[in-house]
Structure 1
Amino acid sequence: MEAQQASPDSSSEECTVLEALPGKGTALICSQHKGKVSVLYCLACEISVCEDCMNGEHAEHPTDSLENIVDQQLAALQDRVDSAKNRLPQIRRAVQSLRDILQQLNSQRSSIEEDIHSSFSELYKTLDTRKSVLLMELEVTYGLKQKVLQAQLDTLLQEEAAINYNCSLTGEALDGENKAVILQTHKDVGERLGDLASQGLPLQPEENDQLDLMMEIEGLRKSIHNLGTIVTTNAVASQTEASGEGLEQCVVGQPATVVITTRDKSGGLCKTGNAIISAEVCTPDGSVADGEIVDHKNGTYEFQYTVKKEGHFSLALRLYDQHIKGSPFQLKVTTNAASTGSSDGGARKRSAKSPGSRSRQKGVRRGGSLFSTPKKRVNPIEDDLIFRIGTKGRNKGEFTNLQGVAACSEGKILIADSNNQCVQIFSNTGEFQSRFGVRGRLPGQLQRPTGVAVHPNGDIIIADYDNKWVSIFSSEGKYKAKLGSGRLMGPKGVSVDQNGHVIVVDNKACTVFIFQPSGKLVTKFGSRGNGDRQFAGPHFAAVNNNNEIIITDFHNHSVKVFNADGEFLLKFGSNGEGNGQFNAPTGVAVDVNGNIIVADWGNSRIQVFDGSGSFLSYINTAADPLYGPQGLALTSDGHVVVADSGNHCFKVYRYLQ
C-alpha cells in the first residue's frame, strides 16, 4: 500500500505520514527517513518524530512518548466533544422555547387579525345599519311633507278648475242675452259661484321645504383614524434589570419597592410600557407576599410588595415568563428597620389597586392573581390534590385563561377556555374527551367564553362575554340557540336552578338575569353598588337544595344569597385574609349538605362555609398552591374541581362532605 501524500497546504515542518507496514498495522512513518516509524513527539515543534530525527535537527528538543501524547490528545478531544454535547440540551431547550414563542406569536397575530376583521365588520354593519336608518328616516320625513303639500296643491287646483268652469258657463249665458237662459243659469250656477267666491281656501303653505342633513363627520373621522393600536414592546428578559433595596432586604409589614427597567436585545432602554411582567416573593412551600406591579408607561415598572413574616425568601421577577437578569433574588426579611439600612423602614405609599393584581394594560390579557397570601390555617380539611391537568397553550388539554368550570352526573368536567374560544371536556379522572368552539361573533361562535353550566337535559350553557349573550349547545357540542341577546352587557357566570331556569351573572351590568331555556326573561335583580341587593363585578353563581341563588361579589369581597325571585336573604365575607374574609371571590359551588365552597381569587385559596355563611375550613391546597383560582364545581364523585388560571390548568382535590 502506497503512503498517503501530504496535502499541498500541509506544514513543511511535518515529517511523518500514515503508512501500513507488514505486521505493524497503520503507523506514523517519518517522511524524511524512509521506513522509520515515529515513536516520539517533539513538544517544541508539536510534531511526531523518529529516532533519526532526534539525532538530527530535533536533538535538543524535549520529547515525550508518541503513545502518551496521542492518549492525552484523545482525552482532550473527548473532553471537548463532551463539552460541546453538553451544550446540546441547552440549545434544544432554547430552540423549543423559541418555537413556543414563535407559535404563540403566530397565534397572537392570527387572533388579533381575526379581532381586527371582526371589529371592522361590526363597524361596517353598524355604518350600514345607520345608513339604512337615515335613508328610511329621509323617506318617511319627505313622505309626510310631500303628502301635506300635494294634498293642498290638489285642493287648490280643483277649486281653480271649478271656478273657471262655472265662470265659463255664466259668461256664455251673459253673452247670449237670452233672458230664459240667464234665468236658468242664475238658478243653476249663481249659488255655486257664490259658494266658490266665499269658500275659504288654504292659500298659505301648510308645510315647508326644509330637509337638511347634519353629519358630524370630522369627529368620527378622527376617531376612526385613531381607532385601535397594536400593543407590544421589544423588551427581553436577558437584558432587563431590576434595582432597589427591595431586591435584597425589607422589613416585616412595611412596603418595599423594586424598580424594573426593560431593555431590548441590544441593551437599549425600552421607552414604552405594556410589557407582561410577573413577580413572586415565596418560600419553598408557596407564595407569601401581597404586592402589585405599577406600569409607568415609559419602559420602567415598580413592584411594590409587603412580607408579613421574617426569614429568607426568594424574589422571582419574570418578563414574558422568563427570569430577568439576576432573578430569582435572595431576599432577607427582618423585623428591625435599622438592620435594613433604610431610614424610613422602606415605607412607601402604594397605588390604590386590588391586592395581588397584575398591572392592567390596554391590549394585554390579564391572568389570575399573581400573589398567594395564605395565613395559618385553622382546622384544615385533610384532603390532598388528586391530579392537575393542563399547561399554557392552544392544543387539546392546554389552556389560555381558563375560567368557568362545570361538572355533570355523567362523570364529565367542562372547562371554559376563555382565550382559546372553546370548551374542553374531560372525564372525572382527567382524560381528555372532546372540545368544541370556534372564534367569532355569529350565533354558534364564541368570543371569550367565561362561564359554563350543564342543564338537566344535557345541554351545555355557555356565557359568551364579548358576544354579550348566552349560547346553548347540545351535549355533543352542536349549537342550538342563544338567549339574552340585547339585554346582556357582559355575562360572566351561568348556572341552572331546580326549575331548569338559566341564571346569568352579568358582570358589566352588575345584574343577575333568570331566563327560561327558550330565552324568555323570568326576572332580574341587582344594580351597581355595595348595598345588599347591589353588586360590584359579580362573577359566578350556584344554586343550593332550597333553590336559593348564591352569587360571588368580586369587588365587594363578599358572597350574597337570594331566593328564586331575587329577594335578598343574606351575605357574608369582607375584605381581608382572615378566616371567612375574601380578596375578590370568584368561583362558588354548593355540596349536598348545603355547605358553600368559594374560590378566593386574590388570596389564592378555597374556603368552605355552612349554609348560613359561617366559616368552616379551607380546602388543603398546600401540595400544589393555587395561583388565581377562578371557576369552581363539585364533580359527580364528590371532589372539588377548580380552574387554576395562573397555572394554566385545572385541579381536582379530595373533598369530605
Structure 2
Amino acid sequence: MGAGLEQCIVGHPASVTIVTRDKSGGACKSGNAILSAEVFTPDGSIVDGEIVDHKNGTYEFVYTVPKEGNFALALRLYDQHIKGSPFKLTVTRALEAEVEVSPSTTTATNSAANATPSTGSSEGAKRRGKSPGQKKKGSKRASSALGTPRRKTQNPIEDDLIFRIGTKGRNKGEFTNLQGVAASSTGRILIADSNNQCVQIFSNEGEFKSRFGVRGRSPGQLQRPTGVAVHPSGDIIIADYDNKWVSIFSCEGKFKAKLGSGRLMGPKGVSVDQNGHVIVVDNKACTVFIFQLTGKLITKFGSRGNGDKQFAGPHFAAVNKNNEIIVTDFHNHSVKVFTPEGELVLKFGSNGEGNGQFNAPTGVAVDVNGNIIVADWGNSRIQVFDGSGSFLSYINTSADPLYGPQGLALTSDGHVVVADSGNHCFKVYRYLQ
C-alpha cells in the first residue's frame, strides 16, 4: 500500500488505480466491472470524483478534496467492499517546501476479497509552494424550521446572502448530498437531493412545496439524481448517475419516460436548449449528448482528455441566448462553450485561486445579458464572467461561506440559488444583472 492511500493534499487531484483479477488470481483483460468509489467527509457528505475505465482490467478513481481533515475512502467491487475498505484518509495542506508524490497501484479481485488499494497524485510530479486549497472554510449552522427560510439578520459582515434552507437529514427540507439545481419560470426552485433519491421543490421565497422520488433501479425510480432541469412544457428532467439514464417527470412528479438508457455511462448535469432539446453532460463518458424529448439522439460530442474539444469529468451545462452550450470541465479547471453541433466557440479558466481561475468548476448559469455565473467547487466561491469569458466579479458569500458548491441557477425573480453541498443546504443570493 502506498502512502498516498493514507494522506493527500487539499485541492490537489489524487487517484487510486484498481487492477482487477479473476477468482483464480489471473489478471482481467477487459473492463465494465461494476466498481464504485466514494470519499466521505467528516460530516458524511460525499466528495466528487470520477472512475475511469481503461477497458483493460484497470480502473482509476480521481478525486480532489477541498478541505483538510480526516476522511474515509470506500472502494466497492460488485457492491462489496474490497479488502480494507473503507480506508482512513488524512487530508492536509502542503507546506512551503517541495512535496513529491508518485502514483501507485491497487489490485482487486472480482470477488473483492484480496484487494490492496493505494493512491497517489494523478499528475505524478513534484510540486513546490502552497496548495491552492480553498479560500474559505465552511461553517456549520443550525437550520431553521421546515419551510421557514433563515434570512440574514444581525450579520456583522455584509454579503449577498438573502436566505438559506436545509440541514443534513432525510425529511422534507433536509438534504444529503444535494447536487443539481433548477429554477422554473413559475417561481419554483428544484433541488436534486442525491443521497435521499428525490427531488425537492420550493418557492422562490424558500417555502417547501413538494418532493418526489422512490429509490430503485427501475424506470420511474431514482438511484442517484444529480442534475435537474425544467422543460418549457413544465416537465422535470432528472439525470440519474447510477441508473445511467435521464428520467422525465410531469410537474406533479409523475413519471413519464426515460431517455439515454444504453448510451449514457454517468449523466451528471442536464439542461434544455432553445429548441426544447435535452442536453446531458455525461461525467463518466466525458461526452455531451443532445436528445429530443422523445429520446432520439440528435448528436454527441467530446471525449476524455485535456484538448479543446475534450473533457475530464464534466459536470453541468447551461445554454445562452445564442443556443450555445456552456460546460464546466471539472478536472481541466475550465469552462468551455460550444455550438449545438459541438464546435468549440470559447474556453476560459485555469487551475488556481486568482480571479478567473478555478479549482474544479461545477454549477453554471447564464443571465439575461449573457454573463456566465460559475460555481468554483474547490475554492468554494461563485464567480461571474462576461460572455467572452472575462472575469467580472464574485458573489459575496463571506459571511456564511460555501463548502463545495455544486449546481446553481437563476431564479425567475433574478436571484442566484446554489446547492451548498458540504453545508447540506441551498442558498439564495442577490444578483445585480
TM over 0.5: yes
Following superposition, the deviation at residue 372 of structure 1 comes to: 3.3
In the alignment, which of 554, 557, 562 is matched to residue 333 of structure 2?
557
* Structure with the higher helix share, 1 or 2: 1
CA separation in 1, counterparts of 2:40 and 2:374? 32
Deviation at 1:566, TM superposition (A): 1.2
Deviation, 1:567, is 1.1
Distance 1:423 1:294 in 2: 27
**Equivalent residue for 2:432?**
656
1:517 match: 293
For residue 300 of structure 1, report the CA deviation from its aligned partner: 6.4
The answer for the alignment partner of 2:358 in structure 1 is 582
In structure 2, the residue matched to 1:468 is: 244
Q: Deviations over 1:540-582 (max 9, x none)?
A: 0000011010000000000000011111111000000000000
Q: Deviations over 1:312-339 (max 9, x none)?
A: xxxxxxxxxxxxxxxxxxxxxxxxxxxx
Choose the corresponding residue for 2:99, options 339, 342, 349: 349
Amino acid at match of 2:417: V
2:180 matches 1:404: yes
Distance 1:294 1:398, change over 3 A: closer
Which residue identity does 2:208 align to in structure 1? F
- The counterpart of 1:418, out of the listed 187, 190, 194, is 194
Q: What's the secondary structure of 1:535's corresponding residue?
A: coil
Q: Is the 8 A contact 1:500 1:517 kept in 2?
A: yes
**2:354 pairs with 1:566:** no
Taking a change above 3 Å as real, the CA distance of residues 498 and 295 of structure 1, as seen in their structure-2 partners, is closer
Distance change >3 Å, CA 347–CA 615, structure 1 → 2:
same
Q: CA 1:435–1:351 in structure 2 vs 1: closer, same or farther (change >3 Å)?
A: farther
Alignment match of 2:213 (pick from 415, 418, 437): 437
C-alpha separation in 1, matches of 2:259 and 2:41: 36
Q: 1:573-652 alignment to 2 at 5 Å?
A: 573-652=349-428
CA distance in 1, matches of 2:286, 2:425: 28
2:310 to 510, 521, 534: 534
Aligned residue type for 1:507? N
What code does the residue aligned with 2:93 have? Y
- Please give the secondary structure, in 2, of the residue aligned with 1:539: strand
Residues 1:489 and 2:251 aligned together? no
Aligned equivalent of 1:305? 93
Separation in structure 2 between the aligned mates of residue 419 and residue 497 of structure 1, nearest angstrom: 28
Q: Give 3-state SS (helix, strand or coil) of 2:422's partner.
A: helix
**What is the distance in 1 between the residues matched to 2:317 and 2:215?**
25
User: Partners in 2 of 1:290 and 1:449 — Cα distance?
Assistant: 24
Counterpart for residue 77 of structure 2? none
Structure 2: which amino acid aligns with 1:474?
S
Distance 1:640 1:350, change over 3 A: farther
User: Are 2:40 and 2:71, in contact at CA under 8 Å, matched by a contact in 1?
Assistant: no
Query: How well do the aligned residues superpose, as a CA RMSD in angstroms?
Result: 3.2
Q: Secondary structure at the match of 1:602?
A: coil
SS at match of 2:182: strand
Identity of matched residues, %: 79
Q: CA deviation at 1:350?
A: 6.2
Give the number of aligned pairs.
Answer: 328
Inter-partner Cα distance in structure 1 for 2:196 and 2:70 = 26
The letter for the 2-side match of 1:564 is P
SS in 1 for 2:176: coil
8 A Cα contact 1:374 1:577, kept in partner: no
- Contact 1:403 1:417 (8 Å CA) reproduced: yes
1:304 offset after TM fit, Å?
Answer: 1.7
SS in 1 for 2:99: coil
- The 2-side partners of 1:275 and 1:513 are apart by 30
Q: Which residue of 2 aligns with 1:372?
A: 134
Task: Write the distance in 1 (CA, Å) between the matches of 2:88 and 2:274.
Answer: 53
Contact 2:182 2:409 in 1 (8 A): yes
1:142-186 Cα shifts (integer Å, max 9, x gaps): xxxxxxxxxxxxxxxxxxxxxxxxxxxxxxxxxxxxxxxxxxxxx
Preserved contact between residue 371 and residue 604 of structure 1 (Cα < 8 Å): no
Deviations 1:577-630 (A, max 9, x none): 000000000000000000000000000000000000000000011121000000
Unaligned runs of 5+ in 2: 1-21, 45-65, 74-83, 104-115, 118-131, 138-157
The 2-side partners of 1:567 and 1:451 are apart by 24
| 1:455 counterpart residue number | 231
The alpha-carbon deviation at position 351 of structure 1 amounts to: 5.0
Q: Distance in 2 between matches of 1:512 and 1:301?
A: 33
How far off is 1:383 after superposition?
A: 5.3
Report the secondary structure of 2:268's partner residue.
strand
Instruction: Return the alpha-carbon distance in structure 1 between the equivalents of residues 40 and 313 of structure 2.
Output: 26
Matching residue's letter, 1:373 = K
CA contact (8 A) 1:509 1:528 kept: yes
Residue 652 of structure 1 aligns to a residue whose secondary structure is strand
Secondary structure at 1:435's aligned position in 2?
A: strand
Q: Which structure would you say has the larger RCO, counting Cα contacts within 8 Å and 6 or more residues apart?
A: 2
Distance 2:378 2:176 in 1: 19
Structure 1 gaps of 5+ residues are: 1-215, 232-273, 280-288, 307-344, 354-360, 363-369, 376-381
Give the strand-richer structure, 1 or 2. Answer: 2
Code of the residue aligned with 1:516 in structure 2: it is Q
Following TM superposition, by how much is the alpha carbon of 1:477 offset from its aligned partner in structure 2, in angstroms? 0.2
